[in-house]
Structure 1
């Protein structure tokens, strides 16, 4: 049974939805009903269990055979998360994490997602896959109320890293996205990745970075406000959002989510694929002390990768990928190179790299000593 506030918020979603989702649903319904069914019974099926970022579920880099139907299940959770020591957010999440988990398939596979909106939630939700074709990226076919679930299947026809996000209609769209509802699906070429010369190249691990801009309101004394649920803070949050000045810009849901005790790890000699998603704003990833050996800046693997980039650009509403082979041990900072956002607002991750130091690449010729100049 929905509370009065929850019912009002669902009503607000319904009122907003016709501009984008409800109209598309109405127009799509007869097309779906009249379309000839597709028989995929001959294709093998595989179920993947999603894992929380920055990690990625088990997958093959080279497809082991022909196309498959890859099954995923994702629950939507509305819950409070701590963004910083003094800031909390009534978040909306795919599978309980910000960003939502990464899905990995191969080009030509079918993605079959069971999307569930538990009864305890207050709001309508759906999912828009930038990797898909038709019906607002699936948004017109997946709009569900609390206590409902749906199954969407689409063919992964294009290789690359793509954003997915919630898009329930009208003003609900930016609110849901900036409350945490975005993630990445990676569609690998069937033969795996290739370098700038068209030669096969593999990665040893994936690091999945989801960058979010949050807009947490402050009270009259300048302290961040805290709300009992998402709907209670809606008006205040929209007023902050419309000024386009985020209170926080973070990696993986919180300031420090990937630093300190939460720092990521790697080893000298390992090739690490950094996959970076930003569903709302442009960003400029940079690995301090390293480079982008190969960078698919727009995230699309059929494009020839750029080589040796110092900083790359991820357009808002997209995911990009960069491959780097670590050559030196130490602590690396992976940042949004708008350094105000990196240092002051939280968009920083750390990678601790183990291995032997190579003085040929970098050497401290003289340690700091007293100044001897005039």
Structure 2
């Protein structure tokens, strides 16, 4: 940890210099990126395999404002693109807020649009995302955004740095089809601190002609839900209760120490234990196909639908790859997002979990699907009810 990060919280709060939270490496990379941005002399000679992205007259493209919604829900979108590529305008506001992760456990979260995870953005390949990122004056920290779906400039991180009271407009072309993480990355130790404080989300870049099965046939979904898995590192008192702080900065030093143990206090879906269970269970009907977009910005995870399967799973997130079929559990590495499609055949309650069952049951990484419809005895039935053992 740097000397400055080891100072007292009140000293941290009084510091406002833009480059304070950048590690030396991040600052050097950022300076080099900005210096080279648009400079032909900084370009190396392209290899024979290099294929430049053709220029587009941005001013000629249709502009569409996308209304972002809180997860697990996703914005309205076409599954197959209509017309030429568009400029998708989105607006995200950073909110630093106290949230309840579980009963008796609260944490100061860094959020995009007030939710953990941040909202899912949806576009089609070759669309442009034009983001207005707002950091209100009421916040304490500098923020930015790194889109794993973008190309260059540290994922946009070096072009989107905003201090409290500032906003920035940033645009990138979504050249790769798939599901991708985005997160705040202000530099140095503040990168993991912001990410595990909830400041991450995902973008889904659909192929222009829609999703395809393993044989190349078009597939559609009736519902899409976004599950953002989050690991939290809440400090504890010596008696085992969780500490609470009166501001984001006051808890930072303690949280950094817990983070270095690599042992989360909570692993949850959508910001809190039980956030997607009970009355908040995800809804579907027998015969409907559901696309589940699942991200984990920091740790590996292994989603599993108890009583169901991954009919089609884009495990690495790339929609241009052939999907895997009929999976029981699939793996998502930290810093990635994946998509799974399943058609429900039976009604009832389904548990959707991280199949490290310690994390699912004891730490909170579980959700529910509540499915309506008629039961099919041909798929499953209880042949005999429990009773005395017979010889």
User: TM-score with structure 2 length normalisation?
Assistant: 0.91
Q: How big is the shift at 1:23?
A: 2.4
Q: Alpha-carbon deviations, 1:263-307, whole Å to 9, x = none?
A: 111000000001000000000000000000000001110000000
- Conservation of the 8 A alpha-carbon contact between 1:7 and 1:122: no
Report SS of the residue matched to 2:308.
Answer: coil
Residues 277-316 of structure 1: pairs in structure 2 closer than 5 A = 277-316=295-334
Question: Which of 258, 264, 287 in structure 1 is aligned with 2:276?
Answer: 258
What is the CA–CA distance in structure 2 between the aligned matches of 1:230 and 1:365, rounded to whole Å? 56
1:231 corresponds to 2:236: no
Q: Alpha-carbon deviations, 1:99-145, whole Å to 9, x = none?
A: 00000000000110000000000001000000000000000111111
Q: Alpha-carbon deviations, 1:219-267, whole Å to 9, x = none?
A: 1111001111111011110110000000000000000000112111100
1:29 corresponds to 2:34: yes
1:371 corresponds to 2:389: yes
Q: How big is the shift at 1:370?
A: 2.1
CA RMSD, Structure 1 to Structure 2 (Å)? 1.5
Question: Which of 141, 159, 167 in structure 2 is aligned with 1:141?
Answer: 159
Question: Which of 147, 155, 158 in structure 1 is aligned with 2:173?
Answer: 155
Q: Report what 2:14 is aligned to.
A: 7
Aligned residues: 368
What is the CA–CA distance in structure 2 between the aligned matches of 1:335 and 1:254, rounded to whole Å? 14
What is the CA–CA distance in structure 2 between the aligned matches of 1:118 and 1:194, rounded to whole Å? 42
Q: Report what 2:287 is aligned to.
A: 269
Q: How big is the shift at 1:207?
A: 1.2
Question: Which of 229, 235, 260 in structure 2 is aligned with 1:211?
Answer: 229
What is the CA–CA distance in structure 2 between the aligned matches of 1:334 and 1:125, rounded to whole Å? 32
Q: Report what 2:348 is aligned to.
A: 330
Q: 1:204 to 1:38 in 2, by over 3 A?
A: closer
Report SS of the residue matched to 1:240.
Answer: helix
Q: How big is the shift at 1:368?
A: 1.1
Q: How big is the shift at 1:21?
A: 3.8
Report SS of the residue matched to 1:185.
Answer: strand
What is the CA–CA distance in structure 1 between the aligned matches of 2:83 and 2:30, rounded to whole Å? 35
Segments of 5+ residues of structure 1 without an aligned counterpart are none
What is the CA–CA distance in structure 2 between the aligned matches of 1:230 and 1:146, rounded to whole Å? 14
What is the CA–CA distance in structure 2 between the aligned matches of 1:371 and 1:91, rounded to whole Å? 54
Report SS of the residue matched to 2:33.
Answer: helix
- Conservation of the 8 A alpha-carbon contact between 2:34 and 2:153: no
What is the CA–CA distance in structure 2 between the aligned matches of 1:337 and 1:323, rounded to whole Å? 18
What is the CA–CA distance in structure 1 between the aligned matches of 2:290 and 2:143, rounded to whole Å? 34
1:97 corresponds to 2:115: yes
Q: How big is the shift at 1:22?
A: 2.8
Q: How big is the shift at 1:369?
A: 1.2
Q: Report what 1:81 is aligned to.
A: 99
Q: Report what 2:142 is aligned to.
A: 124
Segments of 5+ residues of structure 2 without an aligned counterpart are 1-9, 41-54
Q: How big is the shift at 1:20?
A: 4.4
- Conservation of the 8 A alpha-carbon contact between 1:21 and 1:140: no
